[in-house]
Amino acid sequence: MLEFKNTLNRSELNLDPMKQFKTWFEEAKQCILNPETVSLATIDALGRPALRHVFLKQYSDEGFIFYTNYHSNKSKNLELNQQIAMSFFWSKLERQVNIQGVAEKVNPKISNDYFLSRSRGSQISAWSSHQSCVISDRKKLEKNYQFESEKWQSKKMMCPPFWGGYLVRPTAIEFWQGREHRLHDRFIYKRSKNLAWEISRLSP
């Protein structure tokens, strides 16, 4: 069982926020159900924020990857404005990680490899659903699913051209550790002009 740390000190922060994220994410995996659940905000054509949850599927030194339908509302928003915000909340650890960044589509090979690793049901579902479009009723969805199931029985599965990943390259990442009396620890990493990360403590 993880021994909860309820402080975050400057001296223990990794200078690289992605490494710091890895430390926290690995700890969250030990005690939180679905720690990969992340809220994700985009901006629509009228400048209004739009928020929903997705699953973080991969992360690396470059940033954070999630997968979705490229015709969905979030993807339409990202076509117009690549700016994105994400927030993880891991209640048991009293931790929050807030990310601002710029999203770009990943290489189709990365999407294809990930798509082929998914369950058959998820693959068929991706082919069947016009995500974010109005649909007359559930029957229509189930009919599409049935149609795609039969279609792919005799064909080699492939990733839909309208489905894939986004890489979020972070421009700022904040690590928030809840503390007693709401005297929380907050550290924000921001990219400086020379691309190094600058770390500042924020008031709670």
Ligand X SMILES: Cc1cc2nc3c(=O)[nH]c(=O)nc-3n(C[C@H](O)[C@H](O)[C@H](O)COP(=O)(O)O)c2cc1C
Minimal distance, residue 5 CB to ligand X, in Å: 26
Q: Quick check: 95 binds ligand X (CB under 6 A)?
A: no
- Candidates 1-9, 11-19, 46-54, 193-201; binding stretch for ligand X (CB under 6 A): 46-54
| 72: its two tokens | 């969905």
Of these, 14, 31, 41, 73, which contacts ligand X (CB under 6 A)? Answer: 73
Backbone φ, ψ for residue 199 (5° rounding) = -110, 130
Of these, 14, 37, 83, 100, which contacts ligand X (CB under 6 A)? Answer: 37
Of these, 19, 52, 120, 140, which contacts ligand X (CB under 6 A)? Answer: 52
Provide the sign of the torsion angle of the four alpha carbons 149, 153, 158, 162, taken in this order: negative
CA nearest neighbour of 101 among 52, 14, 165, 42: 42
Return d(Cα 173, Cα 73) in angstroms, integer: 25
Minimal distance, residue 190 CB to ligand X, in Å: 27
**Catalytic residue flag (residue 182):** yes
Q: State the catalytic residue, choosing from 95, 120, 182, 191.
A: 182
Q: What is the DSSP string of 77-116?
A: HHHH--EEEEEEEEGGGTEEEEEEEEEEEPPHHHHHHHHH
Task: Indicate the helix (H) or strand (E) that contains 198.
Answer: strand 197-202
Backbone φ, ψ for residue 46 (5° rounding) = -95, 10
Of these, 55, 107, 108, 200, which contacts ligand X (CB under 6 A)? Answer: 55
- Candidates 53-61, 105-113, 165-173, 180-188; binding stretch for ligand X (CB under 6 A): 53-61
Q: 154 vs 119, 150, 157, 161, 166, CA distance in Å? A: 17, 8, 9, 19, 30
Choose between 160 and 184: whose C-beta lies nearer to ligand X: 160
Of these, 20, 68, 96, 177, which contacts ligand X (CB under 6 A)? Answer: 68
Of these, 18, 28, 35, 74, which contacts ligand X (CB under 6 A)? Answer: 74
Return d(Cα 167, Cα 58) in angstroms, integer: 9
Minimal distance, residue 88 CB to ligand X, in Å: 12
- Candidates 63-71, 133-141, 143-151, 178-186; binding stretch for ligand X (CB under 6 A): 63-71
Return d(Cα 80, Cα 151) in angstroms, integer: 34
Q: Quick check: 72 binds ligand X (CB under 6 A)?
A: yes
Residues that bind ligand X (CB under 6 A): 37, 50, 52-55, 66-69, 72-74, 131-132
List, by residue number, the catalytic residues. 182
